């Protein structure tokens, strides 16, 4: 079943954290690279970099630290703040998935046609 509930933290002043940014952070943590993480989501390096800059500027401490090599080289990793952000978001999401399951199931029953797998070719 592909249905799910995703969360967005609206922190005022255009500061938003949702599913996409959290997934990018997780991929940076897993790959050690902003460009590799972006590629996982079909994102250009520039787009991934801008999202990281936005996130780093949002808080009083950065969530991603980059190591030597500058914009196009070197590696990247989540700071403790970044790791905590991902954990807080995922925990809230899991709690919500649990709590709001019946809401989602009700809406799902109304769908025009049963959800089908995407064609493979």
Which residues would be at the binding site for a copy of itself (CB under 8 A)? 1-13, 15, 17-19, 57-61, 81, 85, 88-89, 91-92, 95-96, 99-100, 103-104, 106-108, 110-112, 115-116, 118
Name the residue with tokens 């991902």. 86
Which distant-in-sequence residues (6+ apart) come within 8 Å of 65 by Cβ? 76, 77, 78, 79
Q: Looking at beta carbons only, is 2 or 120 nearer to a copy of itself?
A: 2
Q: Residue 75 CB, nearest distance to a copy of itself (Å)? A: 24
β-bridge pairing 16-18 and 64-67: unpaired
β-bridge pairing 75-78 and 64-67: antiparallel
Q: Residue 72 CB, nearest distance to a copy of itself (Å)? A: 26
Q: Looking at beta carbons only, is 5 or 50 nearer to a copy of itself?
A: 5
Name the residue with tokens 């809230």. 92
73: its two tokens = 């080289």
Q: Residue 26 CB, nearest distance to a copy of itself (Å)? A: 16
């Amino acid at each position: 079943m592909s249905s799910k509930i995703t969360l967005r933290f609206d922190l005022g002043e255009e500061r938003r954290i949702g599913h996409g940014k959290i997934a990018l952070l997780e991929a940076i943590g897993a790959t050690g690279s902003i460009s590799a993480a972006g590629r996982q989501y079909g994102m250009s390096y520039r787009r991934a970099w801008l999202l990281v800059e936005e996130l780093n500027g949002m808080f009083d401490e950065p969530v991603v630290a980059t190591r030597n090599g500058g914009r196009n080289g070197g590696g990247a990793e989540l700071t403790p703040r970044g790791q905590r952000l991902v954990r807080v978001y995922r925990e809230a999401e899991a709690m919500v998935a649990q709590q709001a399951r019946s809401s989602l199931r009700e809406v799902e029953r109304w769908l025009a046609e049963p959800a089908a797998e995407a064609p493979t070719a």
